[in-house]
Every structure is written in structure tokens, then in C-alpha cells.
Amino acid sequence: MGQMQSDEKEMELAQIQELYTAFMQECPSGALHLHEFKRIFGVSSSSREESVYLETIFRSFDTNKDNTIDFMEYVAALHLVLRGKLEDRLKWSFKVYDRDGNGKLDKHEVKHIIRIIYRIKKINMEMTPNEVCDRIFELVDQNGDGQISLTEFLEGAQRDEWVMNVLKLDVNASGWVLENFKK
């Protein structure tokens, strides 16, 4: 069993080296800028909704707030999206929803992301974004204060599968990474 763990660590090191090579090919400056991030995810400049959504995601990965994603931030983001625990991915989703960074979600912030997701994915659900937002607040806002805390967000998502599917953000990064590393 010790050998297996050793092999896994070596494979992870090899994967990191491959990631670094690919990162430096995409970003010779050593920094991934917003326009490169959008290009990687195939967002055209004519799609306002997708652009705003990816800008929000980009900012959530730019942990030092220097308007670029360096290699360490890139690896951390990939690890979160590809291998992160559900709770960590939900905490990241909360951070994306929380546009003003105050640690609470209000209906405006939730509606904003729901509307963008509807437009990007061209979702044709029985409920409007406003109805989805209202239902989320009914199911998740346990203390009825009109705001969702991180604790309420995590507990609500884990308690109700519908809420989980709505709140958990899917950027399809794993598909892009797997496709591009086969080359």
C-alpha cells in the first residue's frame, strides 16, 4: 500500500509539471489575464452574460487581487474545480454569488447569478429566475432575515438536492482541462 501512495504522489508531481508546461505555453508572461481566461473558456466578446459570469469567476480565483491568475492560483483553482471536496466547491460558489463580499447573499445577488446562468445555458425551466430565487430563499434562509449566510448556504445545499443543483456552479473546467491535456 505504501508503494501505491508513492506512485500517486509521483503522478501528481508529473501532472503539476504538465500543468506548468501548458500554463507557460498559454501564458508566457507567467500570468493569466482576464481576456486569456475568457478565450480558454470560449467566451465571445459579444456575449455579455457569459463575459460577466466569467469575470466573476476569474475574480474569485485571483486570490491576491492583482487582476491576473498566477500559476499557484491556477493550480489551486483547477484542484478545487476538478478534485475539490463538495463543501469547498460550495464555499467557492458562495464567494461567486457574494458580489459585494459582505459574507451574506441577498436576493439581488442570487437573482443576478441565476439570470446569467439561465441566459448562458439557455435554461427553459418551468420557473422564472425570480421564482427560483424566491424558492431558494424559502428553503435556505433559515432565520428569515432576507439574507443567506455561508452556513445557511452550505446546509441548504446539502439538505435539498434541487437547491444543490441550482447553487453549485458548473464552469465545465474539467472538460476543457481534460480535452486540452490530451493534445
Q: What is the CATH number of the domain that holds 66?
A: 1.10.238.10
Number of domains in the chain: 1
Residue 80's pLDDT band (boundaries 50, 70, 90)? confident
The range of the structural domain enclosing residue 166 comes to: 2-181
- What percent of the chain clears pLDDT 90, i.e. is strictly above it? 26
Q: Is the pLDDT of residue 92 over 60?
A: yes
Q: In whole angstroms, what is the distance from residue 113 CA to residue 93 CA?
A: 10
Residue 152 is predicted with a pLDDT of 95
Q: Is the pLDDT of residue 7 over 50?
A: no
What is this structure's pTM?
Answer: 0.72
Q: What angle do CA 90, 144, 59 make, to 5 degrees?
A: 30
Q: Is the pLDDT of residue 59 over 80?
A: yes
What is the rounded average pLDDT of the residues 33-48?
Answer: 74
Residue 31 is predicted with a pLDDT of 93
Mean of all residue pLDDT scores within the chain: 80
Residue 64's pLDDT band (boundaries 50, 70, 90)? very high
Residue 8 is predicted with a pLDDT of 42
Phi-psi region of 47 (alpha: psi -120 to 50; beta: other; left: phi over 0): beta
Q: In whole angstroms, what is the distance from residue 152 CA to residue 141 CA?
A: 6
Residue type present at position 137: F
Contacts of 164 (CB under 8 A, 6+ apart): 157, 158
Coil, strand or helix: which one is 136? Answer: helix
What is the rounded average pLDDT of the residues 115-139?
Answer: 81
Q: Is the pLDDT of residue 89 over 60?
A: yes
What is the rounded average pLDDT of the residues 144-168?
Answer: 90
Count of CB atoms situated within 10 Å of the CB of 167: 23
Coil, strand or helix: which one is 77? Answer: helix
